[in-house]
Amino acid sequence: MQMRSRRKRRKLASEINVVPYIDVMLVLLIIFMVTAPLLRLGVDVKLPEANARAMEAPKDPVVVAVTKDGRYLLSLQGQAAEELDEAALEKRIAAFVRQDPQTAVFIAGDMGAPYALIYGAMATLQRAGVVRITFMGESAGTQGR
């Protein structure tokens, strides 16, 4: 008798072990779930320019004009503009606010005026008690006329 050694050949397994892939997928899912809300907070938006309708102005507006050299000019109820310093402007506007707390004040800032001057005028109006401040401007079709 011949002894023949028979070795059993193993079949190659053609199955893929997917457990590690599932683990990686779940970890990535958790990372995306945590970071997704944070990504929405810092979105840069470049707003388009458009021609806007003119707002309906009150019959007798209170207008504070800021010149590019930092002077304040106050126009009340259609009167000629009066030049005032910051303290006098605050007192005059505060008197109007005492009579009508909802008085709207328009700021007409010169295009060449530094932002700090216009911001200073707004701060002065807030100290005087104005709650409705509006910035004036020209619509795109009327510039240069």
Of the chain, the percentage scoring pLDDT greater than 70 comes to 70
Quote the mean pLDDT of the chain: 76
Of the chain, the percentage scoring pLDDT greater than 90 comes to 12
Has residue 20 got a pLDDT over 80? yes
Q: At what angle do helices 86-99 and 115-127 cross, to 10 degrees?
A: 40
pLDDT of 37: 73
Phi/psi region, residue 80 (left: phi>0; alpha: psi -120 to 50; beta: rest), is beta
82-84 and 72-76: which strand pairing?
antiparallel
Would you place residue 46 in the very low, low, confident or very high pLDDT band (cuts 50, 70, 90)?
A: very low
Would you place residue 45 in the very low, low, confident or very high pLDDT band (cuts 50, 70, 90)?
A: very low
Catalogue the E-assigned strands of the chain: 62-66, 72-76, 82-84, 104-109, 132-135
- Could you tell me which residue, 56 or 130, shows the higher pLDDT? 130
Spell out the domain ranges in the chain.
Answer: 62-135
**CATH assignment of 62-135?**
3.30.420.270
The pTM assigned to this predicted structure is 0.55
